[in-house]
Structure 1
Amino acid sequence: MASSFPGATGVSEVSIYDWPGADGAAGGSPHMHTASTEAYVVLSGAGRLETLDSRGFTSTPLRPGVVLWFTPGTVHRAINDSGDLTVLVVMQNAGLPEHGDAVMTFPGAHLADPEAYRRAAALEIKDADAGLGAGEEAARRRRDLALAGYLELKDSVLASGPAALADFHAAAAALVAGKTSAWARLLEQGAARQAETTRGQLASLDAAESFYLGAARTTMGKRENHRIYGMCGRIQTWELSDN
């Protein structure tokens, strides 16, 4: 079977959206992760990462070579100033973000109603004959709604400090509470399993046993020419296959 990335991380290349928002800045849907740390390695272009966290509001320049990461609870918004901002994303706990770990900053009425949130978060295309642009249109609608809530949240944090995030954090926790049993299984199959494997290897080395080294292998990521609409931008992923 194919291996997972080291540390059971998820790796993807993201071209940040160049769509201007209500405040004139181009970018994707502001959101946070509830159980996963995310890292950016900036590959090309220039922009900013706006964050709302325990320090309040911060804007960090993004340029090639910059590496930064942010822990669960950090509301973040990638802004594409140059029009060609591309980042390599390394995501902790691969599988959790794909199964609802992220919560977007929709207005309060959507956060309080799980079904309203689900409808707003899903990239549903109602017209089967809408054509290739329908996915972008749906992603833009979702981004605009998340940006509306984010700008309100940002104003509150600027006025009142990090405490203004409490209601959003509480709403996000309520939205994902029913998903954690599935996440626990993913964690057990991913990061926990890799950690336990390393624990066993250390025990073998402690006993000067090297038998497990005979099973060494190389795995190659297969890049497909296919990008999906993500929250921050168009996402290119790699499928792992035995080399």
Structure 2
Amino acid sequence: MKYLAKLASVGLAVLLSFGLAYSASADKLKVGFIYIGPPGDHGWTYAHDQGRLMIDNMLGDHVETTFVEGVPEGPDAARAIAKLAETGHKLIFTTSFGYMEPTLKVAKRFPDVHFEHATGYQRIDNVSTYSARFYEGRYVQGVIAGKISKSGVIGYIASFPIPEVVRGINAFMLGAQSVNPDMKVKVVWVYTWFDPPKEADAAKVLMDQGADIITQHTDSTAALQAAAERGIHAFGQASDMIQFAP
């Protein structure tokens, strides 16, 4: 999606500011990424890793990147983030909302390391937040869903009740109701970002409840594939997933 390209451009700008400082040095800037899922999820983590690979391609003479995948949100995240800081990474991207507290905790221990945290709201001198107006895309999805739904019921697979996800649900609903004021949006909470079986089950529950359009705030392609098996239209998340449910 275009909004992830915008995120990549913001990240690249941050890297360039560091890279210029390192360009006169023999040492490469070490940049670390903490991922909630695997790079092959074809969703949020995949999009971030494509950005990391682009950094390697464009700034490889000055930058060395590292990633740690499948890091749960919680104490394990703090340990993984700290390990990157301890091994000389001076710029660290913590790419999930639930990494906010662990990021702040580690950042206080390493004031000479800069941290970029995704979609959060707490910051200190060496912790910044990167995000985008994701809800704008969700609104457009809602308009499309409202135009093509025949049942008048559309479904939303929600990850966690955090601001970004709640905004997404509201925007999707408002977009759909701008076309059909009687449109109903059903929500299933899965309390995970990446769990293909749960995501597929959530899609099936929504379809069983009459939803003929599905969107997701999770990262695997499982929901799309479940919808495709029933001939139901669905929207992916964070990257182009059309190859999995044409």
| TM-score, normalised with respect to structure 2 | 0.27
Higher strand proportion: 1
Structure with the bigger RCO (C-alpha within 8 Å, sep 6+) is 1
